Every structure is written in structure tokens, then in C-alpha cells.
Structure 1
Amino acid sequence: MIEYIRGMIEDIGQDHVVIDFMGIGIKVFVPFSTLKVLPPKGNIVKLYTYLHVKEERFQIFGFKTKEELDLFEKLLFVNGVGPKGALSILSVISIDNFIKAVNAGDYKTIVTAPGIGRKTAERIILELKDKLPKEVAYEGENNFSNDVLEALLTLGYTKSEAIYALADVDCSNVEEAVKQALKKLMK
């Protein structure tokens, strides 16, 4: 198995990048989420890879993060989802939004990926619901204070309930944030 590839970017296509690795041009298929963060041609890049072998065809898929690679591999285990479908999902849905959609049973978000229909989206939800984290690591403006989270956990709420309750709460004031989260949880 090829864990990752590091080399100079020779060419960038709509769904792939060609990496010069020790004088060999390797075509690596990538989702749009990876494509948009790649440096320009001539720069060195490291991509985490998955080697897909089918009959006499070998394809390498690359990802900027291990999390993208992990989700790609999980999608491949879903009946009816191949590398093209998995890549399509990762191209249009962020990992956090995908996890939220699966946990909420929201097939409409998943069908926004080209080539993924309702039945396939429902199968993805059914097969991955217990294999994905129950909560999403919120970043940026949704970054909550550990103090607020700990307060809710101490009150007996689960981590996923606490994270759900804190999704839209301003956590700059711990006491006020706990009050707002409790109101949301008691509805």
C-alpha cells in the first residue's frame, strides 16, 4: 500500500493532479476539497493516498488530510459506492457536514453530490451511521469553551447532546452559555 506521495506538482486537472515523483509522473485523482488547497504547479505537495485496483486498472486517489482519506475508505465499503462516487461526495460536502447529514439521516445533503441518488444516499446513511463520530469537531466561530462543555457533561448530558446544544451559542461568558444551552436542551 502507498501511504502517501510527496513530489512536485507537474500538472493540475479538473479532478486530478500529476506529481513528479523521482522522475515518474503519477496521476492522482483528488476531490475538489483537496484540489482547491493545492499550491500552484512547480511546488512540492504531500498527499495521503489510496490505491484502487480493479481488474487490470490501477488508480491512485489522493487527499490533503488523513480525515478525508479515512472517510473515502469508509465510503468505499458502502454497497454501490465506488471511488468515483466517494470522490464526488468529498468534492461537494465537507467532512463535518457529511457527518452531520449521516447522523441526522439527511439524505438530501448527500444527493447534492453528482452521481449519488436517493437510494444510494439512504444506503450510505444506513451503513455509516454507526461508523462515524456522533459529534463534529466545531471550528472557528463555533469553537466552544471547554469549561462550558464540561459544565454540561457534569449536569449529565452526553458529549453529543452538549455539542449540539452549543452549536449556535456564544461561549465567551460561561454562565450565560450554559443557560442558553440548557434552554435549547429542555425544548
Structure 2
Amino acid sequence: MIGRIRGVLVDKSPAQALVECSGLGYEVDIPYTTFFHLPETGGEVTLHTHFSVREDAQSLYGFAARVDRDLFRLLIKVNGVGPKLALAILSGLDADQFIRCVEAKDANALVKLPGVGKKTAERLLIEMTDRIGQLEGQFGVSEPQLSDTKARAVVQPSATDEAESALIALGYKPQEAAKVVSKVAQDGMTREALIRSALKSMIPTGA
């Protein structure tokens, strides 16, 4: 089991990070909440990982905080929730927000996530209620995300298109992605800030 990886961030996208460690480049699938924590390419990065081996593939999933990795492991144990859907859930809600949804029995916040229907949301609330106790003591350890103000420091003209593509890849419909990105976009915002603001507008931060 590969539980953690530390190395140089060679490349990054909202869905994947390429980390070079001891001469090897590891492709690590990540949720958006982890993407926001990544340093600039060329910087050192540490990710808590989950290694999955199937008959047709070997996949490495990475997370900025251990609590997110551990929550991912609990999510994929839920009937009908695979790694792809678990990443989608953690892209829209960080660990603290997800736990608050479960504690409040807030299915409405969960169904706003792409790929999560009413039945899946209800199943998550039922099965995760008994499992979140395993995460006790891990809250508050997530690294702080960059504020939108800091993230806007660099002007990226293509940020809107990249943000829309990222949301579509997550599962949102093209028209929906374009509409919400247009609504939250401000001059000078980076792709990271746009995606974060778009997700926040789709899923209330109080979730």
C-alpha cells in the first residue's frame, strides 16, 4: 500500500497531479479540494494517497489532508460509490462540509453534486452516519485554502474556458458550467479561484 508520496510537482490539472519521486513520475488522481492546495509546478508537494489495484487498472489517488484520504476510503465502501464518484463528492465538499451534511441529514446538499441522485444521497447519509466516528480527531488539520483575493493575483485570460472544462469533467452539464462560471467570473481571477467560486455557488458553503 502506498500511503503517502512526497516529491516535485511536475504538472497539475484539476483532476490529476504528476509527482516526481526518486526519478519516477507518479500520476495521482485528485479531487478539486486538493488541487487548490497544490504549489506551483516545480515545488515540493506531499500527498496522502490511496492505491487501488483492479484487474484492468492500477490507480493512485492523492489528497492534501489525511482526513480527506480517510474519508475517501470510507466513501468507496458505500454500496454504489466507486472511486470516481467519491472524488466527485470530495471535489464539491471538503471533509468538514461532508460530515456536517451527514450530521444534519442534509440530502439536498448531496444531490447537488454531479452523479449523486436521491437514492445515493440517502444511502450515503445512512451508511456514513455509523462510519464518520472513525475520523474523530482529524478535523481542523486541512491546510488553509488560498483566499479568492490572493488567487486573483495573476491574470489568466483562458481561466474561464479552463474552469468550464473542469466543471464539465466533474460531471456538470456544459450549459450549467458556462452559466455558473459566467456568473462568478471577475477580472483577474485564476482558474483555481473560478472553480472554487463556481462550486461554492452550486453547493452552499454552509453545507
After the TM superposition, which residues 21-170 of structure 1 pair with which residues of structure 2 at under 5 Å, given as runs?
21-133=21-133
Aligned counterpart, 2:199:
none
Letter of the 2:108 counterpart? K
Give 3-state SS (helix, strand or coil) of 1:27's partner. Answer: strand
Q: CA deviation at 1:56?
A: 2.4
Q: Runs of 4 or more off by more than 2 Å in structure 1?
A: 133-139
Write the distance in 2 (CA, Å) between the matches of 1:124 and 1:2.
Answer: 27
Write the distance in 1 (CA, Å) between the matches of 2:131 and 2:14.
Answer: 31
Write the distance in 2 (CA, Å) between the matches of 1:131 and 1:12.
Answer: 32
Give 3-state SS (helix, strand or coil) of 2:67's partner. Answer: helix
Q: CA deviation at 1:112?
A: 2.1
Identity of matched residues, %: 40
Q: CA deviation at 1:69?
A: 0.6
Aligned counterpart, 2:19:
19
Q: CA deviation at 1:21?
A: 1.3
Q: Greater shift after overlay, 83-92 or 108-117?
A: 108-117
Matched positions, count: 139
Give 3-state SS (helix, strand or coil) of 1:40's partner. Answer: coil
Q: Greater shift after overlay, 39-48 or 105-114?
A: 105-114
Q: CA deviation at 1:63?
A: 0.5
Ranked by relative contact order (alpha carbons within 8 Å, sequence separation 6 or more), the top structure is 2
* Aligned Cα root-mean-square deviation (Å): 2.0
Determine which structure has more spread, i.e. the larger CA radius of gyration: 1
Write the distance in 1 (CA, Å) between the matches of 2:24 and 2:136.
Answer: 42
Runs of at least 5 residues in structure 2 that lack an aligned partner in the other structure: 142-207
Give 3-state SS (helix, strand or coil) of 1:77's partner. Answer: coil
TM-score, normalised with respect to structure 1: 0.70
Runs of at least 5 residues in structure 1 that lack an aligned partner in the other structure: 140-187
TM-score, normalised with respect to structure 2: 0.63
Write the distance in 2 (CA, Å) between the matches of 1:77 and 1:38.
Answer: 27
